[in-house]
Amino acid sequence: MNFQEMIEKLENFWKNQGCLILPPFDEQVGAGTLSPYTFLRAIGKKPWAVAYLQPSRRPADGRYGENPNRLYMHHQYQVMIKPPLTNIKDIYLESLKTLGLKLSKHEIKFIEDNWETAVLGALGVGWEVRLDGLEITQFTYFQQAAGIILNPVTVEITYGLERLAMFLQEKENVFEIQWNDLIKYKNLRKKEEKEECVYAFAEADPSTLFELFMLYEKEGTRILEKRLLIPGYHFLLKCSHIFNLLDARGAISMAERVQMIARMRKMANLSAKIVLESEEQNE
Amino acid sequence: MSDFLFEIYTDEIPAKQINSAISQLKTNFEEFLKEFNLRTGKVQGFGTPRRLVIYIEQVEDKEDDSIIEIKGPSLNSAISENNQKLQPYLKFIEYNGLTEQEIEIKEVKGNKYVFGIKKISGRASKEILKEVSINAVKSLNFPRMMRWNETNMEFIRPIRNLLSMLGDEIVPVELAGIRASNKTFGFFFDSPLEIDIKSPKDYFTKIREKYIILDFNERKRIVEQRANELANKINGKVILDEEFLEEIINMTEFPTPFLCLMDMDMSSLPDCIIESIVKDHLKSLPIFKKDGTGILPHFIGVRNGTSDFIENVKKGYERVAKARILDGIFFFNEDKKNRLESNIEALSEVAFISNLGSLKDKTVRLVKLSEYVSSVFNLSKHESYALKRAAYLCKADLLTNVVNEFPELQGEIGSIYAEFEGENKNVADTIKEHLLPKYAQDKLPISNTGKLLSLIDKVDTIVGSILSGVEFSSSRDPYGLRRTIGGIVEILLNMGGESIPIREIIEQSIKIYLEENANLHGESEQILQVIKERTSSSLKEKGYDYDLVNSVLSLNIDLITSFKNRCEVLKKYKRDENFKLIIQTHKRVRNLISKAEFSIEGVKKEFFVDESENKLYQMIVETEELLADLLKTKDYEAIIHLLYLLIPEVTKFFENVLVMDKHKAIRNNRLNLLVELKEIFESFADFSEIVID
């Protein structure tokens, strides 16, 4: 099964489970969780069920396109349901079957993996799912976001698509994945991986990035204080990406790290507050 | 009479917490059952990652009946002389819901009272077990709980099904919106296999047929036996570390070990990295050469499931191993591009404990402290160099890629890199040992410099934390300070030698902190107190009774290096008849001194009146001389025998003279004699703390 078929199958599967299928959110993010489709929707009482593909950029994981397993950018398939369906785990396992896996011929293990992020004040309890030893999914029940205890809780399922594709296509190198039957992953992405890494590790100018962080943070906070949620949240995501770039460059000092995280956290809290308040107004 | 079965079927429970969950649940059942008069067989607990099970054999159908007596008003006030029932009587039976048949008149201390005698018929066991089950589950405690549905119940992982049966009847327990039934699920192959259960006995048969091994010990036997066989096949051996074994066994409901090969060139990679990859990333057992000289390119995975299609699983594990090893090689090669030394500047960007600056600051302090202890211990030039150099380099591996990836290799990697970069073996070993012991019962540093660096590293952590007011307790200890104190105590107790100037080392550490930051404040006494408390519990854990422990703890803390030997000797002699005399004599001497008012001015022979005084004094002088040598050579048994020789002279002294003589000069002189005697006793232990049965 090629990469694009895999996405299509997952999309169809979750569509049939009643999820809204949305396009990837158009901002650089380190994980699908940061997308407003997940983070902002986890807050408050309104039910929500969504599935979307999300390219995720983690500069520190970049290897100039030369490592068979690590990427600057990879693809996540993100499912987020609130309140969680009772048999959500069984449904997830069904989704693996639609990818052509016969589970009894393999091993599935759910291994404890809880998750916490200071930037979003978010906390989740859950598992990493391993298929014959390979981590293919994060399965998490969100307990807290922006420091708020969530009620109802949200279940989040994040598939690592490259890992799954390598497994299904029996490839030992990510760049050998068939995107469709003619085009390989390397044809599409190898050059881009190299460019991103050259930028992140060598060319990025820390002082410019610090300045951008400050500008985005200032503008984002200003806008969020005017209760303009999405434009403000965009700026938080920009800050987060720039922070990751600076981090990969090793340019953030101890004191700066604490301070930058606190500033992003403040924006996340402001955003969460807007979500909660507008929900109250609609009641 | 019926058997009772209770199963909580959940999503995967964290492997490290399953055994504790089972034992907690079992204890809770036992405790809550005590509140009832219900007779049952013993409570047994089982579990896998997906279920916690309680089984109680032979539960009576109902509680035993019981009789309670309620004391009412006095007969006089309750019933009039003409047998009229008065207000207090009527109120009493109404309030307690009594009938006339339940009333008796009883005499208490000569007065007659109205009593209600109530027979309480026992509740049905089904009802009781329902209540007990709910309470037992709700009282479970886990380090991190979660919520998963609209009931917002908190549990370790989502509860999916409840099975609760007393004989063939369902006990209608309800938790997290789920009602108990008689169905459960077998092993998950392609879907959850639902099973109907007829009775508790039927459960154990059916669940096993559906590939569930409920008993941890049975799963453990399977894994141990098969792992040994597989390792043997390739002339290797597995090292079965209990804690890790528990974790990987508790990731399975039906374990099947299988052998994997890492078919690639790993020669450039240190064994410890391969071991970490196999254990941490693959949750598998590494295989070592039989003679213990190194690791083999194989490992044993433990599948959750049967051996059907196991070649697929093996292929998957081998592929993941390969990718991880490649990662390891990449990180290792990246690290080799830098020298350890070049990381030290960057340690200024790694936080130590809040308010205590960076690890660079810590490194600077450790170097200063290492210079200090080198001079205090009079270390050889070679050792002084090794200690100082290791102090300088010991934190540098924290910034390597390998330690970033495998934090548990800190120290070990630093040591490998140091040797690789041409540092001498002593420096490398000291770096490796400086983090030991990492946990209770872990191995201790062996080299002298390893012990010292480990000690000052930990002293620096504790001193800094206490000076900056970091609070820690058994429930909240984010920096693991209690473990650090435990490490200090273990090193000191096993240091050997007569004494160690631990007080001075702590004072020096405080001084170094204060030079850095004048805002900190604190006393060495505070820190020594914490160390003493831990020493006390550590000695007790080692099997010494509390009284022996107290008797050595009253000594100068610098003598801590000899506490274990002293306790050992006290333990050996405690049952000796003569030993009791030492205790009695010490107590008597101590009491006399503490009650009397006098000034300490030394013994003056000219005030001796009786020959027994002179003899005792002679004996004291001789004993003091011998004692000094015996303390130095730590010949503690000889000290006890020395005291045995001393006792008869003391006894004679007490028989022949009255200490509290009416002449002040004579009295004072005798008291001063006793002070010297007391010092002799207390140079070994505070004997008066020892309890004689």
Calpha distance B292→B285 (Å, rounded) = 15
Residue B534 vs residues B483, B540, B549: alpha-carbon distances, Å: 10, 10, 11
Element (H, E) at B639: helix B636-656
> In sequence order, which ranges of B148-276 are alpha helices (DSSP H)?
200-209, 216-233, 242-249, 271-276
Of B16, B316, B351, the CB nearest to A254: B351
> In sequence order, which ranges of B75-165 are alpha helices (DSSP H)?
75-78, 87-95, 125-138
Cross-chain Cβ contact B251/A67 below 8 Å:
no
Give the pLDDT confidence score for residue B77 in this predicted structure: 87
Residue-wise pLDDT for A174-216, tens only, equals: 999 999 999 999 999 999 999 999 999 999 999 999 999 999 9
Give the pairing of strands A48-57 and A20-22.
parallel
Q: Residue B299: beta bridge partners?
A: B260, B286
Q: What residue in B sits closest to A87 (Cα-Cα)?
A: B160
Residue B338 near chain A (CB below 8 Å) = no
Give the pLDDT confidence score for residue A15 in this predicted structure: 98
Residue type, B12: E
CATH of A205-282, one of 1.10.260.40, 1.20.1260.10, 3.30.379.10, 1.20.58.180: 1.20.58.180
**A90 contact residues in B (CB cutoff 8 A):** 191-192
**A63 contact residues in B (CB cutoff 8 A):** 330
Cross-chain Cβ contact A141/B150 below 8 Å:
no
Q: What residue in B sits closest to A136 (Cα-Cα)?
A: B320
Q: What is the 3-state secondary structure (H, E, C) of B578-628?
A: HHHHHHHHHHHHHHHHHHCCCCCCCCCHHHCCCHHHHHHHHHHHHHHHHHH
- For residue B85, what are the contacts with CB-CB under 8 A and spacing of at least 6? B78, B79
Phi, psi for B391 (deg, rounded to 5):
-60, -40
Q: Residue A73: beta bridge partners?
A: A57
pTM value > 0.95: no
Of A83, A125, A127, the CB nearest to B144: A125
- Series of mean pLDDT values for 10-residue runs along chain B (693 residues): 97 96 97 94 97 96 90 88 87 88 88 90 94 96 93 96 97 97 93 91 96 97 97 94 94 98 93 94 96 94 96 96 91 92 88 81 95 94 96 94 90 95 95 92 92 96 89 79 93 90 94 87 88 94 93 93 94 89 91 87 86 90 91 91 91 88 87 91 92 80
**B321 contact residues in A (CB cutoff 8 A):** 133
Architecture of domain A3-200: 2-Layer Sandwich (3.30)
Cross-chain Cβ contact B327/A89 below 8 Å:
no
Cross-chain Cβ contact B301/A112 below 8 Å:
no
Q: What residue in A sits closest to B322 (Cα-Cα)?
A: A172
Calpha distance B389→B662 (Å, rounded) = 67
Give the pLDDT confidence score for residue B431 in this predicted structure: 97
**A143 contact residues in B (CB cutoff 8 A):** 146-147
For B37, the 3-state DSSP assignment is: coil
Residue B473 vs residues A73, B20, B351, B480, B612: alpha-carbon distances, Å: 43, 21, 22, 10, 55
**A167 contact residues in B (CB cutoff 8 A):** 316
Element (H, E) at B376: helix B359-376
Q: What residue in B sits closest to A70 (Cα-Cα)?
A: B327
- Interface size A-B, in CB pairs within 8 Å, comes to 108
Calpha distance B689→A218 (Å, rounded) = 68
Of B152, B312, B322, the CB nearest to A132: B312
CB atoms within 10 A of CB A191: 11
Calpha distance A48→A68 (Å, rounded) = 37
Query: A111 CA to chain B: closest CA distance, Å?
Result: 7
Query: A82 CA to chain B: closest CA distance, Å?
Result: 10
ipTM greater than 0.90, yes or no? yes
Name which of B245, B229, B247 is nearest B237 in CA terms: B229
Residue-wise pLDDT for A132-158, tens only, equals: 999 999 999 999 999 999 999 999 999
Residue B326 near chain A (CB below 8 Å) = yes
Cross-chain Cβ contact B15/A152 below 8 Å:
no
Query: B441 CA to chain A: closest CA distance, Å?
Result: 26
Q: Where are the domains of chain A?
A: 3-200, 205-282
Phi, psi for A106 (deg, rounded to 5):
-135, -175
Query: A268 CA to chain B: closest CA distance, Å?
Result: 23
Element (H, E) at B303: strand B295-304
**b/e code B658-690 from CB counts within 10 Å (16+ = b):** ebebeeeebbbbbbbbbbbbbebbbbbbbbbbb
Calpha distance A42→A33 (Å, rounded) = 10
Residue-wise pLDDT for A52-94, tens only, equals: 999 999 999 999 999 888 999 999 999 999 999 999 999 999 9
Cross-chain Cβ contact A67/B327 below 8 Å:
yes
**A93 contact residues in B (CB cutoff 8 A):** 188, 191
Of A152, A155, A254, the CB nearest to B358: A254
Cross-chain Cβ contact A63/B330 below 8 Å:
yes
Question: Sign (positive/negative) of CA torsion B187, B188, B191, B194?
Answer: positive
The gap from C-alpha A174 to its chain's centroid, in whole angstroms, comes to 19
Chain A interface, best mutation among B258, B319, B356, by max A CB count within 10 A: B319
Give the pLDDT confidence score for residue A279 in this predicted structure: 86
Cross-chain Cβ contact B316/A132 below 8 Å:
yes
Of A107, A141, A253, the CB nearest to B349: A253
Calpha distance A174→A65 (Å, rounded) = 9
- For residue B580, what are the contacts with CB-CB under 8 A and spacing of at least 6? B692
Cross-chain Cβ contact A141/B158 below 8 Å:
yes
Task: For the domain made up of B2-62+125-209, give the CATH fold.
Answer: Alpha-Beta Plaits (3.30.70)
Give the pLDDT confidence score for residue B327 in this predicted structure: 87
Query: A127 CA to chain B: closest CA distance, Å?
Result: 8
Of B158, B189, B316, the CB nearest to A103: B189
Cross-chain Cβ contact B308/A105 below 8 Å:
yes
Give the pLDDT confidence score for residue A171 in this predicted structure: 94
Kindly report the CATH number that applies to the domain delimited by B565-689.
1.10.730
Cross-chain Cβ contact A106/B282 below 8 Å:
no
**A70 contact residues in B (CB cutoff 8 A):** 327
